[in-house]
Amino acid sequence: MSTGDLFESSRAATSAMRAQAQRLRLISENIANADTPGYRRKTAPFEQVVEQGRPTNEVRLGPVQLSRAELDRVHAPGHPLADESGHFSGSNVDLVIEIADAREAQRSYEANLKLYEQTRQMSRSLLDLLRR
């Protein structure tokens, strides 16, 4: 029961869905902190899951990395964090990029969900052959 190509593909799709959900969590953290002074944008790479030294077909999110891009300089002379020139460091989150990233995560999640549904339907139709 535990082996077989259909099970393998449904597991791969599930791991990808989990990874996309984690990616979406990072994106919403970025958007939530878009106005936080000194906040650096979080990203995480995708990587293959390795079990017992052998790479599997599943995917997962790697360690979170902070963006090294220049922080946004905000001009606000009355702000408590402002320096002599009246500027302080904001976050380096670009909302347009985050929204595009979120949309991409959503599309990828949908693709994997579709594949999961198809895998399930295929195994069910195979089983239906026995019932006739």
Partner 1 sequence: MDVRTSLAAQGYAATRPAVGANAVPDGPAGALAATARDFAATVAEGEAVAKAAMVGQADPHALVQALAESQLAVETAVTVRDRVVEAYQEILRMQV
Could you list the residues that contact partner 1 (CB under 8 A)?
1-2, 7, 10-11, 14-15, 17-18, 21, 51, 120, 123-124, 127, 130-131
> Which tokens sit at 54?
């052998």
At residue 56, what is the residue type?
A: T
Strand partners, 59: 48
CB of 130 to partner 1, least distance (A): 5
104 membership: H or E segment, kind and range:
helix 95-131
- Rank residues 21 and 99 by Cβ distance to partner 1 and give the closer one: 21
Residue 43, beta-bridge partner list: 65
Based on CB atoms, which residue is closest to partner 1, 96 or 130? 130
The residue (of 96 and 127) whose beta carbon lies closer to partner 1 is: 127
Q: Least separation, in Å, of the C-beta of 118 and partner 1?
A: 13
Q: How far is the CB of 123 from partner 1 (least distance, A)?
A: 6
Nearer Cβ to partner 1 (70/128): 128
Hey, how many other C-beta atoms are within 10 angstroms of the C-beta on 67?
A: 16
Q: How far is the CB of 8 from partner 1 (least distance, A)?
A: 12
3-state secondary structure of 117: helix
Q: How many Å apart are CA 15 and CA 60, to the nearest integer? A: 7
Sorted by sequence, the CB contacts under 8 Å of residue 70 that are 6+ apart come out as: 92
